[in-house]
Chain A
Amino acid sequence: MSVAIRVIPCLDVHDGRVVKGVNFRDLRDAGDPVELAALYGREGGDEVTFLDISASREGRETTRDVVRRTAETVFIPLTVGGGVSSVEDVDALLRTGADKVSINTAAIRRPEVIREITERFGNQVLVLSVDARREAGMPSGYGVTTHGGTTSAGIDALDWARQGVDLGAGEILLNSMDADGTTTGFDLQMLADVRRVVDVPLIASGGAGTVRHFVEAADAGADALLAASVFHFGTLSVGEVKDALAAAGHVVRRA
């Protein structure tokens, strides 16, 4: 047997509350990230990712409290991203109960931070989050973006993924800014292209709309499949996604 394809629900958290629409009938409080994470855990989510989009220090503290409370009741891996810029940030998140952290803008500003974090806590702790889109003039055709895809970082996305792994990142979270929010499918070409240049686990993100999309991304070489809105709106359940993956011949874990 080999390792199962992971299905990862992602929660955008702002000042301790889940943002973007959440549409579950069986939750007392659909905006409570702890309750939602527990629900995804029960449904068979293989990990849960929290993306902290708080702008303030108080908001970040509140998110840490969310992670702390989630880790007390949900015994599956928790990843936290958003605003992580230093070894100290990672240390604080791990102490609250996070198992992994994802880093994005801070690593673009200062790539060495990847090495600093992974030398201290191991490669497995760090997910390099790459927001990429097609960009003319980039050698690979893909550029790294910041600010939600609106600003070019002026870096080639494939080079950056490769460099991030060389510096110690244990996983790549590839967010397609072209596909994000479209629900027309993951960016399969970009996934396959990044897959060719890195051997660490690759998480596909952006564009999921149907179960078929998850299967296609797994076929394209993704090791894990991350989605937010299709799960929050109840369009798809984790179980339905896993049924489709299993039917297509992929190994999935049944909780």
Chain B
Amino acid sequence: MAPIVALLDYGSGNLRSAERALEAAGADVRLTADPVLGRDADGLVVPGVGAFAACVEGLRAVDGESVIRDRVAAGGPVLGICVGHQILFGAGDEHGKHSTGVGVLPGVVDRLRARRLPHMGWNTVEAAAGSTLFAGVEDAWFYFVHSYGVHAGAALQDLPGGRLTYATHEQDRFVAAVEAGPVSSTQFHPEKSGEAGARLLRNWIATLG
């Protein structure tokens, strides 16, 4: 039976593509804001497009923060995508505004140090050694759209069992993906990354229940 994946609907952006891509990758997708389903599904996907503060606000409005924290505490798999990846961290500094994130990953989201922003388009990554997400697509191209990101600090680098995948825009090397226990997240959009993104989603779905 296909694993049930709750796609958290908290009013952020284009969920249709994520829904279709997860379905195509073999999940039984439930687009939902229901905290019960969010906690009980085999997997939870946290999407996100736009501003950090607005996304966190939307997430709180549907009790999404505690759903994510509860799941992670219970070892339930979570996949964050783009701003959904960013809001898993402790805080964000966007447009000079400091906002608290969900905090299941240590670190701060800040502006990329590049002239050409947003970092928009297809880029390659330095896949973490032994990565589950990137198995078979270590050298593939993924679609990024963002001006902010996480520059890995010591707390993130030393996360027990954590695997970090990096990407570089201009000279700026930032975190492109995290695998840390039940938490997986990607700064890029796997649902918009063609065949490579589909493979990454299948890799994640294969780890569920």
Contact = CB atoms under 8 A, between A and B. Distances in A.
Interface SS majority for chain A? loop
9 contacts: A1-B168, A3-B123, A73-B20, A75-B191, A76-B192, A120-B50, A120-B54, A200-B118, A253-B122
B124 interface: yes
Interface in A53-77: 68, 71-73, 75-77
Interface in A162-186: 170-171
A75 B144 CA distance: 13
B14 A98 contact: yes
B194 to A, nearest CB: 5
Nearest to A1: B124
A123 B143 CA distance: 16
B147 interface: yes
B147 A94 contact: no
B111 interface: no
A97 B14 contact: yes
Contact of A255 (B119, B120, B144, B194): B194
B164 interface: no
Given A3-B169, A75-B197, A125-B49, A97 B120 contact: no
A4 interface: yes
A1 B123 contact: yes
A124 B122 contact: no
Nearest to A121: B50
Interface in B128-182: 141, 143-147, 167-170
A95 B14 contact: yes
Nearest to B190: A75
B63 to A, nearest CB: 22
A71 B17 CA distance: 6
Interface residues of A, number: 37
B192 A99 contact: yes
Contacts of A199: 115-117
B121 interface: yes
A2 interface: yes
A232 interface: no
Contact of B17 (A1, A97, A201, A255): A97
Interface in B85-133: 115-124
A200 B115 CA distance: 8
A114 to B, nearest CB: 15
A6 interface: yes
Contacts of A99: 14, 17, 145, 192
B194 A76 contact: yes
Given A76-B192, A121-B13, A253-B141, A2 B168 contact: yes
B195 interface: yes
A122 B16 contact: no
A199 B115 CA distance: 6
Question: Of residues A96, A99, A124, A254, which shows the largest number of chain B Cβ atoms within 10 Å of its Cβ?
Answer: A124
Given A99-B192, A224-B121, A2 B169 contact: yes
B102 to A, nearest CB: 19
B51 interface: yes
A205 to B, nearest CB: 16
Contacts of A1: 123-124, 167-168
A253 B116 CA distance: 19
A6 B121 contact: yes
B146 A124 contact: yes
